[in-house]
Structure 1
């Protein structure tokens, strides 16, 4: 069986460090509120796939730098190119983003997200894919897909979010794209706990260390069973959402939203 060590892994598109049995992943584009790019999506997916074989990493902390978690896909580096793609390319992209979520759920390590500031779009889905979420009261959670003319179905949102906060609340967030503060998100049950900003990373790391020091084989089994014991498999749901999202990416509303954003205007959606 393949076995690897990831303590000395050198990341290219995000920060990566290891202390003991805990790896910390830090999105580090603070000037843009830590958006994802094609490259960072791919590298994150590949890293979590490798975690399956890691013998030295027992828990992961996922965070962002500069007072924000993640603002989602980079508008100019991802959304701009997407409006120029054809269907096969769009579906390749939506499947890749879903593969990141599947890799996070499939790896045996517990994942603790440390969330401050902006946590939106794909960043919100990374938080969903994590096992636990420690946040600040000033954090801002939003599933913004509808704001760019897309379905709320993205990266498994329509299966993961209802499992975390219930169908009615998930519908609220996915249909409206509204911003939810940290206290409301904790009340929903999305965040496990709230802490002060200066204690965020320390608290999340301590939690990850506690999990890493626990029965990690048992934790891995718990992680598997928490998501396996539902009627529909996550993979099937993500594939369905990948197809739905790729279709939405060919609508004029998606392009309208991008052009409005580039022009610093409010998009006007027409439903086509």
Structure 2
């Protein structure tokens, strides 16, 4: 949102709905914002970056706050070192879970699902930069992202079956078939085997494969490219991509008509037209 828009916005409304997150101080992972791109780095490389109760909750809350962020327009999620994320920490999550009763177990599974909901609900495109091990909840975080870059050595495994659990975890049975197809998703969820980087690219899970040493650089470059676009309209695109899963074609066409009419009211739409007339590239401002 630019200065002129802020000037027209009631301060009380802005206080409750606009928030700068560049200065956010993360406790359980690394957080950095540059040029409108936030980078979340899962930072336990000695354990292949597993998640804990604390990191799950903080990620859930942070992605929830992104709905109100004024200075973040795209997000990159990456793992420190040579791996993305090995899933839930065996000692800090799996061990305690076997001692819990149903109400507490449901509290946990709802918390993990709420992370996926928050990733899908935030308007910013999320780019996962996946190298090495990407397993369990790590595979879910990659799946819940909007775009995924991998490497030839990526090993993505929805391994819930291998620990005695169903593959229906954190939305996997709903989302994974839509990304790679029902048969391929069924294979991964029933067997828990690893999907190679080459398979992931061929099946459409990865948008492309990168050399490991260039993975983060290319993910951030892609995110910066998205930031240069009409970010308000991009947020609408993300919303509609998600919401239209549960619509008929007729409902989707009507919803898109309303969404597109809203985007036609933006200054970015006018900027694009004026730039076309002047034979120059438009400079979008997200309003």
Q: How would you bin the TM-score normalised by the shorter chain?
A: 0.7 to 0.9
Match of 2:47 among 27, 32, 48: 32
1:122-133 to 2 correspondences below 5 Å:
122-133=137-148
1:51-130 to 2 correspondences below 5 Å:
51-130=66-145
* More RCO (CA 8 Å, sep 6+): 1
Counterparts of 1:160 and 1:120, CA distance in 2: 16
Match of 2:36 among 21, 30, 35: 21
2:173 is the alignment partner of 1:158: yes
Cα displacement (A) at 1:231: 2.6
2:165 is the alignment partner of 1:178: no
Compare CA radii of gyration and give the structure with the larger one: 2
Number of equivalent positions: 232
Unaligned runs of 5+ in 1: 233-272
Cα displacement (A) at 1:58: 0.2
Counterparts of 1:58 and 1:213, CA distance in 2: 9
TM-score by length of 1: 0.84
Counterparts of 2:180 and 2:238, CA distance in 1: 18
TM-score by length of 2: 0.80
Structural RMSD (CA): 0.7
Segments ≥4 residues shifted beyond 3 Å: none
Alignment deviations for residues 172-198 of structure 1 (CA, whole Å, 9 cap, x no partner): 000000011100111110000001011
SS of the residue 2:245 aligns to: coil
SS of the residue 1:35 aligns to: coil
Alignment deviations for residues 228-248 of structure 1 (CA, whole Å, 9 cap, x no partner): 11138xxxxxxxxxxxxxxxx
Determine the structure 2 residue equivalent to 1:220: 235
Alignment deviations for residues 222-269 of structure 1 (CA, whole Å, 9 cap, x no partner): 10111111138xxxxxxxxxxxxxxxxxxxxxxxxxxxxxxxxxxxxx
